[in-house]
Structure 1
Amino acid sequence: MPIRVCVFDAYGTLFDVAAAARAAAQEPGAEGWAPRWPALSAHWRRKQLEYTWLRAVAGAHVDFWQVTQDALDWALEAEGLDDPALRQRLLDLYHQLAAFPEVARVLAALKAQGLQLAILSNGAPEMLDAAVHSAGIAPVLDAVLSVEDVGVFKPHASVYAMVGTRFGVQPSEVAFLSSNGWDACAAAAFGFHTIWVNRERAPMDRLHGQPAHVLADLAALPALLAQG
């Protein structure tokens, strides 16, 4: 079946998750901790993902904003940073994450090709709404789907099933894009035509599905999908 819907993971795929710590480190007064921003950002992202998996397995769901705060608290402690003002600034900046440079151009091209476009994310609805509007991409999106509608994080199959429910399509009619290898693999096992956006040049995860394609970023996506 031809691809009818193009679905994107949000954080790390469309939005740069390192942008909050990077921006905070460039602000006046940050000189004392600024050299550690890459480590802080990496800790924050790693714990954010780990907590989603652990909560999904344990059946102990909270929304992604709580997970994001918990992960940041761990990361700040790991880096020896006890600074409530910095914590708040980082959380504020997380609501305004920059989109990667090619995102707006690629989404416009896909829309011109007649595809429906959506986000499918662990993010809480208010987080996603803030990020989408901050990046200026809301007008081209047909849906922004949050796991809060099913109460469990990816890679639970019920999350991927939300796409078919919303758009009335079969999994094979969906192109799914994620920068997370584990997400791309799980979505492929669900039946999506999956493309891994391997921004970090990481090895392929050894899981129960494999993506159909691997891209370094989203720039080549319109041409790839135009091939059918």
Structure 2
Amino acid sequence: MPHAAFVFDAYGTLFDVHAAVRKHSDRVGPDGQFFSEIWRAKQLEYSWTRTLMGAYRDFWVLTEEALDYAFARVPTADRSLRADLLDAYFKLDCYPEVPAVLRALKETGSRVAILSNGSPEMLASAVKNAALDTVIDDVFSVHPIKLFKTAPDVYDMVTTAYRLYPEAVSFQSSNRWDIAGATKFGFRTVWINRSQMPDEYPDLKPDMILPDLNALA
């Protein structure tokens, strides 16, 4: 694939957002999956609404607030797990294929980067924990511009830093809304549809749909 840069969303694409709850599933209780889904959904909702309001807050703060909401919604979950769950989220596992795929792309001479809503501290921790620091060239966090995806200024961080036209960038995300935003911006987009979800944005189609990252290498 003749692209100058391969840019990846972090959460849900490289790092498993449900790994934190799964790590403590025996203590979370029978509603663990529901609990984890609420945590993730509210985390994203908070990012969208705060961008629309112009009321930015650090993504880690939103992650904490979303976890508190999940505890309120799922009374069977033990609140004493709060610190353990946050620690696990700070050190999320990556998906099994991620290291080999990123190494293979880097060996082609393309830049390999992350573009994420995550705070710089969150991303640094996840990258280090997954031992990806030797294969990722750059980590772009939205924190300096205080806007979350899908604001066009977020995607422009990459093209400005690399002095590239959008079509020279291959952008991979498991989040369909993120792919829609990146497509609208002009990136070549690959939807990593890990959960086999139906399409939501037929007017903003990705260039490719893959079940995981393996076919990129």
Q: State the TM-score, normalizing by the size of structure 2.
A: 0.96
DSSP-derived class of the 2:113 partner: strand
Correspondences of 1:167-182 after superposition (within 5 Å): 167-182=162-177
Correspondences of 1:149-228 after superposition (within 5 Å): 149-206=144-201, 209-222=204-217
The structural deviation recorded for 1:84 is 4.4
Is the Cα contact below 8 Å between 1:119 and 1:144 reproduced in 2?
Answer: yes
Distance, in Å, in 2 between the alignment partners of 1:207 and 1:153 is 22
Dislocated runs of 4+, deviation >3 Å:
81-84
Is the Cα contact below 8 Å between 1:186 and 1:207 reproduced in 2?
Answer: no
Match of 2:55 among 40, 60, 77: 60
Is the Cα contact below 8 Å between 1:172 and 1:191 reproduced in 2?
Answer: yes
The structural deviation recorded for 1:82 is 7.0
Letter of the 1:4 counterpart: A
DSSP-derived class of the 1:128 partner: helix
Match of 1:127 among 122, 126, 151: 122
Q: State the TM-score, normalizing by the size of structure 1.
A: 0.92
Letter of the 1:14 counterpart: L
Distance, in Å, in 2 between the alignment partners of 1:81 and 1:126 is 31
Letter of the 2:211 counterpart: A
Is the Cα contact below 8 Å between 1:189 and 1:210 reproduced in 2?
Answer: no
For the pair 1:19 / 2:14, whether they are aligned, the reply is no
Which residue of structure 2 aligns with residue 226 of structure 1? none
For the pair 1:4 / 2:4, whether they are aligned, the reply is yes
Which residue of structure 1 aligns with residue 80 of structure 2? 85
Identity of aligned residues (%): 47
Distance, in Å, in 2 between the alignment partners of 1:149 and 1:214 is 31
Letter of the 1:19 counterpart: A
Distance, in Å, in 2 between the alignment partners of 1:199 and 1:124 is 24
For the pair 1:40 / 2:11, whether they are aligned, the reply is no
Letter of the 2:24 counterpart: A
Instruction: Give the paired residue count.
Output: 217
The structural deviation recorded for 1:81 is 4.9
Match of 1:102 among 89, 97, 100: 97
Which residue of structure 1 aligns with residue 44 of structure 2? 49
Is the Cα contact below 8 Å between 1:185 and 1:207 reproduced in 2?
Answer: no
Unaligned runs of 5+ in 1: 223-228
Distance, in Å, in 2 between the alignment partners of 1:108 and 1:151 is 31
Is the Cα contact below 8 Å between 2:31 and 2:77 reproduced in 1?
Answer: no
DSSP-derived class of the 2:112 partner: strand
Distance, in Å, in 2 between the alignment partners of 1:170 and 1:81 is 50
Q: CA separation of 1:72/1:219 partners in 2, compared to 1, >3 Å: closer, same or farther?
A: same
Letter of the 2:128 counterpart: H
Which residue of structure 2 aligns with residue 225 of structure 1? none
Q: Once superposed, what is the RMSD of the aligned Cα atoms?
A: 1.4
The structural deviation recorded for 1:208 is 5.1
Distance, in Å, in 2 between the alignment partners of 1:200 and 1:82 is 25
DSSP-derived class of the 2:125 partner: helix
Distance, in Å, in 1 between the alignment partners of 2:47 and 2:203 is 19
DSSP-derived class of the 1:149 partner: coil
The structural deviation recorded for 1:117 is 0.4
DSSP-derived class of the 1:93 partner: helix
